[in-house]
Amino acid sequence: MANTISPDILDRLRQAALEAQSRSYSPYSKFPVGAALWTDSGKIVSGCNVENASYGLTRCAEQTAIQRCVAEGAGKPLAVVVVGNTDVPLTPCGACRQILAEFTPEMQVICFSRSGASATFTMKELLPGAFDREGLEGGGA
């Protein structure tokens, strides 16, 4: 796969995602999530879920990472690591798949469980037929 990252970068991404997860603001769900992006500028940008008393305003970890990445001009995200306190590797929710796919349809997605078990996907596997810019112009999958 074109975007496969090295074991060293994967380890750094996982550490960054775990640090972000430790800063999660999730008093309602008590379900902390961390994410870390690897960009084509060689930067790591992390995010955590940020909940709200108005539940629907909650932002997922992947979304905060993408927003930071764009705001900081950190480059195009090539890969994302997601960590959760789950028994099986935590995969991004549907909304996050759409938001990640906006920037990199071929993004590598590496998901980790609490124990460090991982599962790797491409964004196309996680969100086939994503609505995208072409769809806005009348084309599409």
Shortest distance in whole angstroms from residue 57 CB to ligand THU: 11
* Burial of 138 from C-beta contacts in 10 A (0-12 / 13-18 / 19+): exposed
Q: Which is nearer to ligand THU, 9 or 50 (CB)?
A: 50
CB of residue 82 to ligand THU, shortest distance in Å:
6
Which spans of this chain sit near ligand THU (rule: CB under 6 A)?
Answer: 26, 29, 31, 33, 49, 51, 58, 60-62, 92-93, 96
| H helix count then E strand count, the chain | 5, 5
Active site residues: 62
Burial of 72 (0-12, 13-18, 19+ CB in 10 A): exposed
Closest to ligand THU by CB, 7 vs 95, is 95
Shortest reach from residue 125's CB to ligand THU, in Å: 16
**Taking Cα atoms as reference points, which of 11, 48, 54, 43 lies closest to residue 26?**
48
Cβ distance to ligand THU smaller for residue 30 or 133: 30
